[in-house]
Amino acid sequence: MATNQYKSFATDPAAALLPIDAYVQDTQGIRTKGNIPGSMALSTLVNRAARQASVMAEALGEVIVEAGQDALDNGDAQALKAGIKVGVAKIIEDSGEIPDVATMGYRNALINGDFQLAQWTTMGSAVGYQSVDRWRVNTASTLRQETALATIQGLPGAVACASLTATGSAMSVAQRIENAAIFSGSKATLSFYAKGSKSMNVSLNVTRSAGGSITLTKQISITTEWQKYAVTFDIPLITSAISEPANTYLQVEFSGTGVVANDKLYLGLAQMEEGEMATPFERRNPAFEEQLAGRYAESGNLNSNAMGVVSYYPYASEIYYLFQKRATPSVKLPVGGVYFGQRDGSARTPSNLSASVVNNSKRKFAYASGPASGNTDYLSRLVCNADYNYFADAEL
């Protein structure tokens, strides 16, 4: 149980105290100047001052203790300051009064910090983006979205988390926050929930791609139970100009150390915000969160119909992205269901069908689809109906 060593002074109703009106009004400058008339007992003034300070100290000590921290009278002002921050954050969290996004903007610089969005289809141990939006595997590992109740139980208010599985002796996952100048010259606090398949050490690393190289590292130890962690980084000022902020980033990385193949690191409710206090996780509107993530990647379906094709010339169509991209994305067109239908209603499956992306930009792209050269038989009597899935990638 946490301990509060700060106790109130002179709380007995019969305590010898300077009358409160005299102390507050201070008409003779007794309190502010220390001007003590010779006829006044010194003890009553000292008792009043001591009680005011001690009662407040005890109250703040209780705030610290209720957050599970010790309030020790050992002269360590920084420890008390840190304890007060934790205590205030707990009061806010317990109250449920989380600031509204519509009136405050958003505090959390991490997108998809609750891991609810998972539109990437890539799975495996390769470095890069896998499964969970905006989260990048930096060291060969497998990243997955987890929604099973047994996994997320103990993660307050969450419906998903992420798991990172080691394939060797290291594993790491990171998010690259657009614009390397973010938090420049200020403090930023990273808070999150974590647990492991075993107790392990996790390295928290902050780097940036432009504006002057930095490498900031903090170490934590996690257990097999969900627990909230918070660390504050002092982000140095940028030391060189950033000409294209949208192409730069500040990277926040979680790296498991001392691991072996199949060890798992679980993460939930991750937040990076300005300041020294870890506030409750910001639960943004899901549609807004999807829009934020959509600046970097999206998946979608497109369909083309070309009636009465008389040769193998392809049919072209423009597709507007749901959200404008950070940069011109790369677009992949894996073929979905593709078939030819004869005008009499009977089916005909061609030997091949072509699809290509043309005129790609941040806002839209065009694609061309149709029978490939050499597959011209019966085209004058066919309906070309091609169903494709696309994936646009503008990640950092």
Fold: same for 128-285 and 297-393: no
- CATH placement of domain 128-285: 2.60.120.260
The predicted structure's pLDDT at residue 164: 95
What's the pLDDT at 124? 60
State the angle between helix axes of 42-66 and 77-95 in degrees (0 to 180), rounded to the nearest 10: 60
Q: How far apart are CA 282 and CA 271, in angstroms?
A: 8
For domain 297-393, the CATH class is mainly beta
The parts of the chain modelled with pLDDT lower than 50 are 98-104, 305-315, 335-352, 372, 375-386
CB 310 within 8 A of CB 377: no
pLDDT for the residue 385: 45
Q: Give the residue carrying structure tokens 């193949």.
A: 261
C-alpha to C-alpha distance for 350 and 340, rounded to whole angstroms: 7
Please give the Cα distance from 111 to 394 (Å, whole number): 15
3-class secondary-structure state, position 136: strand
- pLDDT 10s digits, 353-380: 556 777 889 999 887 655 545 544 433 3
Q: Contact at 8 Å (CB) between 318 and 151?
A: no
What is the predicted pLDDT for the residue at 343?
39
Angle at 287 between CA 283 and CA 293, to 5 degrees: 85
- The per-residue pLDDT for 263 is 97
Residue 91: predicted pLDDT:
78
- As a whole number of angstroms, the distance between CA 270 and CA 129 comes to 18
Mark residue 93 as left, alpha or beta (left: phi above 0; alpha: psi -120 to 50; beta: remaining): alpha
Strand partners, 177: 250
Domain boundaries, the chain: 20-95, 128-285, 297-393
Question: Which pTM was predicted?
Answer: 0.71
